[in-house]
Structure 1
Amino acid sequence: MKAFRVAALLAIIAGPAYAQQMPHINMMQDAPGKTDEEKAADAERDQRYKETMKKIPDAKTSSDPWGGMRADPPKNAAPKTSVAPKASAAAKKTKTAPTAN
């Protein structure tokens, strides 16, 4: 029974490797060539396409569909300094008179 399992496992593993060595055969037939009329029609269609593409103006605006949905970009905050806070204006105005001892 163990030998059967090993043989089955080897067959499963070897299957894809064997398939890669098989010759590549194209089973589809080549399509018949185009007639002169079909070639002329294709050339005319290509020419019309090129003319139409020349008429379309170049897009100068952004093509971002979510552009109007986004908020303003975050503004840079002022850098924090580790300097002691300055005295307020009210504290500067009130000066005490020197006392006589």
Structure 2
Amino acid sequence: MRVRLAAAMIVLTAGTAYAQNPGSVPKYGEPAKDKSGQEIAAEKEAERAYKRSLGNIPDQAPTDPWGNVRSESPPKPVAKASSAKRTKTEHPAN
């Protein structure tokens, strides 16, 4: 029983190592493999189906996530304190 379990573990480990084989991933600059006519037709049909599905989505009204926080009326302007010195007009300066 232990021998079978050990053999199964080795086989499973070899399977994951095979998936890491560098031959399965194209390298940079390597030309892409030519696609068959069936693959090209399947890609075109998938693209058409995708574009049709985009047309099925209804138009949505713009959302305002902060709408319940904002008030309806515009804010009142804040009165600014004047920083310029006021001169007294009653008494002339000496």
Q: Same fold (TM over 0.5)?
A: no
Higher-Rg member (1/2): 1
- The TM-score normalised by the length of structure 1 is 0.39
RCO comparison, higher one (Cα < 8 Å, 6+)? 2
